[in-house]
A and B are shown apart, each in its own frame.
Chain A
């Protein structure tokens, strides 16, 4: 069994990360009835017995002593991380895993990436190494940060390039929170585009998430629970919407949104932690969904978002779950994948679903989904037998789809609006190491990416004939 390390950077990254650990503990508590430290737990947690000497690491198979998360928490201001350490999750983190400073990055990518990036480089690398040494087979780094701020986007992407340098063989999956158009941080377009360049160069996969989509989904759920039809009760404690039953007893404002992202991470790793009839490991995600190195932006969608209390779920509900995964309301960025071109799509199913249900739904949905000509049957499927807490089954769809293009184009437009006027540029340029060329390079990297998606889109309507086959001399 392999291990993964979560690196959470900045305010948003740490808040989402905190929810993730909460839910992970809850999920494992639900499944692991005997209190044994098993392989599934060891993928995200270490087991430490403080009475033993030499750090107290315990091996798989023994009883659970103290679980420590395989995580590194980084923030350039203390508020969020200290909040975590005062809260109920304080036992799960070791002070050696934390890196904080006091003054924050002032929503400035250059401060995060260059100033703090250089100052803390060695410290960060040490902490990462320490965490990696505790793993006997490290498979993946999960990096969580936002794109619009200073620490998350600047220092976060610096950490990403450090990960590539120090651990080139380990997969890097980034969950990036993109700002919405109405974001209150004025410089968020600059920060986002500067960070995008790093993501395109150094990440293996990026799961973009937009705040606005999360808000829409959360609103939709609370609407459903208020309008629930009589006779069908909405289960309030499903992991997706609520952390109830988890370690933290009360919910704070962004919690519901962060829960959704935390669930995304749980579901992606479910098949490598639990058994199933068709396993899907993390390295298979990058392998199957990234046809060209730079096109690694995968649009996630999670269903179902709420459960109805009737346990006997007929096939129609199951099929509805599959249909929902492709509807634009369930995507975690504002995009409509059905009207753009699919390069590849992965379906990760959890719970009591069999291969025939999977095949039936793929055949049903396939005609309405436009796939690129050289990947007409581009489906990657995984079946994991353990469902998430509170559900009998769930589906996570990851699509490599050209519907990210409008999102990126909008980002580029917002960037250009500011850049043309050179607004706020001086804040960045007076940082040591920051040059104007960084801006133009970042812009051209984004434009090149958009071009690549555009080329693929152009093939959508055309009927591409089969490539002529090799002919063999008879």
Chain B
């Protein structure tokens, strides 16, 4: 079953290119033929000459990044993008969500839908769409939201999993909070689930775990690609009956997206270390899983500086969780993906503890377990946790708070109004997100 990726804006195109790179080298690297075949079928199509072409549509409002990504892919020699799978214009969206959503989106709707249709036709069976974008800029956020809406309209029965990159808290773009709020509010209605990476966290992973001195955006994108690859590469799931699952996105949705109010998913991966250290490290499933569980409940998205004091409150105490009280992270549902050696002997009981979940779902339904005996991306054993929990609550709340403060003084609003959205639209978006924040805060 094939996945069509839609790369939107500078971030989307840069991350997408790294993602395909990771997947291609992982698929080609291993000696497991079935794994290779499933992975290649999922993300690439083979041309008549035997080359791999990514199942991707590249969209940006200015040409530089797409040209760069396409040539970088071609240079790798192992895979490339389709010659005609991209759409670009001359002039960007100016970091303005309204420009992307109200002007560029509709203007180029037909061309984009045509590209999408062609890519879908190449798939024997469509597993779903993964639009990759950032929320801080104008194209990724604005055009990305519009394109997600088009996908919804044109393919109502397909799954749409949006991957978002949240910007650094201390600004890359001044109006990033406005763009983020507008994007999230709209995507919440359109998307099946939203998988989030935060630049701040990934930056810390690069500096503290991977020990990179001068961190560039390529390093950041490579970490994101590694974590995403860990989620999307083939696995054996409970429903797939001994073969690699053919419905990766659908099964992810049924595992995690259990309620329309709760769509925010976070990812963490263990271990993460400099590639030069990997040959000298030993891994054991009990240690990896113990760390991962503590990372989940103390809301630490990386292995390092984990707060071991945090533990689930006793069942007897009245559990009223608010944003400020306690640092315990309650989960709604978790998806644990184990890859590598001895994966069948891994003991995952710690994740089935009812204390870490809300009371609505019994723990054996709240936890889903996928396994693959094939080591991923040079790690002999690795675990990826995709979590629908309160992990993103604080960053979301900060984002809304800053956007609201700016909105209170009406700064920059004239820039958005001139492209077609009103103060009412802003208020609607704020209201939707306050609702989401409230829902997640109440998880107990």
Chain A residues in the interface with B (C-beta under 8 A): 1-2, 39, 136-137, 139, 275, 277-279, 281, 283-284, 286-293, 344, 354-357, 359, 362-363, 366, 373-381, 383, 466-467, 469-472, 474
* Known A366-B170, A377-B402: A288·B175 in contact at CB below 8 Å: yes
Q: Could you say which residues of chain B place their CB within 8 Å of the CB of A137?
A: 90-91
> When the two chains form the complex, which single residue of A279, A377, A466, A472 contacts B431, counting CB atoms closer than 8 Å?
A472
A selection of 20 A-B contacts at a CB cut-off of 8 Å is A275-B68, A277-B14, A277-B218, A278-B10, A278-B172, A279-B92, A283-B91, A283-B96, A284-B94, A289-B174, A291-B411, A354-B216, A362-B170, A366-B170, A374-B411, A379-B174, A380-B171, A467-B408, A472-B435, A472-B438
In the complex, the answer to whether A467 meets B405 with C-beta atoms within 8 Å is: yes
Cβ of B168 and Cβ of A469 under 8 Å apart?
A: no
Nearest A residue to B175 by beta-carbon distance? Answer: A288
- Which of B26-34, B41-49, B57-65 is near enough to bind chain A? B57-65
Assess whether B62 is in contact with A1, with CB atoms less than 8 Å apart. yes
Contact B170 A355 (CB under 8 A): no
- Contact pick for B405, options A288, A291, A466, CB 8 Å: A466
Within 8 A of A (CB), among B154-192: 168-175
**Chain B, Cβ-Cβ closest to A363:** B170
In the complex formed, the residue of B with least CB distance to A467 is B408
CA distance A39 to B63 in the complex (A): 10
How far is it, in angstroms, between the C-alpha of A279 and the C-alpha of B434 when the chains are bound?
32
**Please, which residues of chain B bring their CB within 8 A of the CB of A355?**
203, 215-217, 220
Known: A362-B170, A474-B442. 17 other contacts (CB 8 A): A1-B63, A278-B10, A279-B65, A284-B138, A286-B415, A291-B411, A355-B203, A356-B216, A359-B203, A373-B405, A374-B411, A379-B174, A466-B405, A467-B408, A469-B401, A469-B434, A470-B430
Residues from chain A with a CB closer than 8 A to the CB of B90 are 1-2, 136-137
In the assembled complex, the CB of B88 is this many whole angstroms from the nearest CB of chain A, namely 10
Shortest 3 CB-CB contacts between residues of A and residues of B = A283-B94, A356-B215, A137-B90
Are B405 and A374 closer than 8 Å at their CB atoms? yes
Given known pairs A2-B90, A137-B90, A377-B171, the reply for A287 and B405 (CB within 8 Å) is no
Residues of B within 8 A of A (CB): 10, 14, 62-65, 68, 90-92, 94-96, 138, 168-175, 203, 206-207, 212-218, 220, 400-402, 404-409, 411-412, 414-415, 430-431, 434-435, 438, 442
Give A355 to B170 CA distance when docked, in angstroms: 12
Residues of A within 8 A of B402 (CB): 376-377
- Across the interface, do A2 and B207 meet the contact criterion of CB distance under 8 Å? no
* B415 contacts A287, C-beta separation under 8 Å: yes
Contact B62 A375 (CB under 8 A): no
Closest-CB distance, B190 to chain A (whole angstroms): 21
Are B411 and A375 interface neighbours, CB within 8 A? yes
CA distance A407 to B254 in the complex (A): 63
Determine if A284 and B95 form an interchain contact, defined as CB atoms under 8 angstroms apart. yes
Q: Select from chain A the residue with minimum beta-carbon distance to B61.
A: A281
- Identify the closest chain A residue to B177 (Cβ): A377
Least Cβ–Cβ distance between A116 and chain B, in angstroms: 32
A379, B62: Cα distance in complex, Å: 23
- A283 and B92 contact, Cβ closer than 8 Å, known pairs A288-B173, A373-B405: yes
- In the bound complex, CA of A388 to CA of B253 (Å): 50
A380 with B172: CB separation less than 8 A: yes
Given known pairs A284-B92, A373-B405, A381-B172, the reply for A470 and B214 (CB within 8 Å) is no
Given contacts A275-B64, A284-B95, A472-B435, contact A466 B401 (CB under 8 A): yes
Q: List the A residue with the shortest CB-CB distance to B436.
A: A472
Are A281's CB and B216's CB within 8 A? no
Distance in Å from the Cβ of A357 to the closest Cβ of chain B? Answer: 7
Chain A residue numbers with a CB within 8 Å of B65 are: 275, 279
Known: A283-B94, A287-B95, A380-B173. A357 touches B214 (CB 8 A): yes
Chain A proximity of B439: nearest CB distance (Å): 9
Residue of B nearest to A137 (CB): B90
Q: Is the CB of B94 within 8 A of A281?
A: yes
- CB–CB B170/A380 < 8 A: no
State in angstroms the CA–CA spacing of A281 and B9 once bound together: 13
For the complex formed, measure the closest distance between the CB of B201 and the CB atoms of chain A, giving whole angstroms.
Answer: 13
Complex CA gap A241/B92 in Å reads 33
What is the CB-to-nearest-CB distance from B6 to chain A, in angstroms, rounded to a whole number?
A: 20
A379 engages B216 (CB within 8 Å):
no
Neighbouring B residues of A283 by C-beta, 8 Å? 91-92, 94, 96
Q: Which residue of A lies closest to B430 (CB)?
A: A470
Contact, CB under 8 Å: A281 / B220: no
